[in-house]
Amino acid sequence: MAGFRFLFSELIQETKVMATLSEGFLDPSRIWVLSRFLSHLRSIGGKPAERVYTLELRCLHTIPSDQYDRNVGREIYAVISGIWELQPWGERSDPDREIEFCGKASTKIELYASGDPETRLAMWRLELGDEKSPGCYVHAQILGDSTKPPFPKSVPIPRLPSLFVTPMSAVEFVLGELFQNDWPEVTSKKRYEVYEWHKLQKKWLQQLFSWYQDQIERAGSFPWIALKKAKPKDGMFL
């Protein structure tokens, strides 16, 4: 069973576009994090095929926001980090080289009050499973990084269904949640980066929904159980 595969060039483009669109929402002192992430992703694309490489996102900070609710609240900010295991496929010189999410695939989002970095307000993870995972393959989990309740490591449920497959789609989700007014304004502008982001995300979301719909139509039991057990088909994001 294969994991989700993408065209390497499209993952690079997604990251470049998000780095540009998100500039006004990220802590200026941490802008380098996305640049380093992009550089590391590019280097993996140039490595030998059929080996697994680790890609990390190290503590990307947003600026503080009070736009996360209808009423103005205290300012909070997000810290986004993650780890993904990737396997290149095809020749290094091939413009259509593919890359597969084949192991760990987890984006961690933590929220803190502005001015109080010692007190974590919330944490969740957007993740991909593997062929043995008991829950929905594309899922979100709450906490689970401590032995203490609530949501200790020993109770890794619920695995909530998610739509966010790539690292940058997880970043967009966070920006959309934190900046309920300003982020939609950016995404509605007529500019090259907005067009490119729309094109990629539309393609991938349509393919993901098509896969979900196919699982439901072919379900021999309850539709939710079919979705819960579904594992990726080869090439669905290519």
Q: How far is CA 38 from CA 17, 18, 45, 128, in A?
A: 11, 11, 11, 20
Domain boundaries, the chain: 5-229
Note the pLDDT of residue 2: 64
The region of weakest confidence among 110-124, 189-203, 207-221, 223-237 is 223-237
Q: Considering the chain, what is the average pLDDT of its residues?
A: 93
pLDDT tops 70 at residue 77: yes
**209 has pLDDT over 70:** yes
Minimum mean pLDDT range among 9-13, 99-103, 174-178, 231-235: 231-235
pLDDT exceeds cutoff 60 at 1? no
- Please tell me the predicted confidence (pLDDT) of residue 62: 98
Q: What's the pLDDT score for residue 133?
A: 83
User: Is residue 33 within 8 Å of residue 59, measured between CB atoms?
Assistant: yes
pLDDT, tens only, 129-172: 887 888 899 999 999 888 999 999 999 999 999 999 999 999 99
Q: What is the pLDDT of residue 132?
A: 82
Q: What is the pLDDT of residue 215?
A: 92
The per-residue pLDDT for range 39-65, each reduced to its tens digit, is 999 999 999 998 999 999 999 999 999
Q: What confidence tens digit (pLDDT) does each residue in 85-127 have?
A: 999 999 988 989 999 998 899 999 999 999 898 899 999 999 9
The whole-number pLDDT of residue 87 equals: 94
Residues 50-53: contacts with CB under 8 Å, at least 24 apart = 50/87, 50/88, 50/89, 51/87, 51/88, 52/85, 52/86, 52/87, 52/102, 52/103, 53/85, 53/86, 53/87, 53/88
Q: What is the 3-state secondary structure (H, E, C) of the chain?
A: CCCCEEEHHHHHHHHHHHHHHCHHHECHHHCHHHHHHHHHHHHHHCCCCCCCEEEEEEEEEECCECECCCCCCCCEEEEEEEEEEEEEECCCCCCCCEEEEEEEEEEEEEEEECCEEEEEEEEEEEEECCCCCCCCCEEEEECCCCCCCCCCCCCCCCCEECCCCCHHHHHHHHHHHHECCHHHHHHCCCCHHHHHHHHHHHHHHHHHHHHHHHHHHCCCCCHHHHHHHCCCCCCCCC
Share of residues in the chain with pLDDT > 70 (%): 99
Joined tokens for residue 11: 């993952």
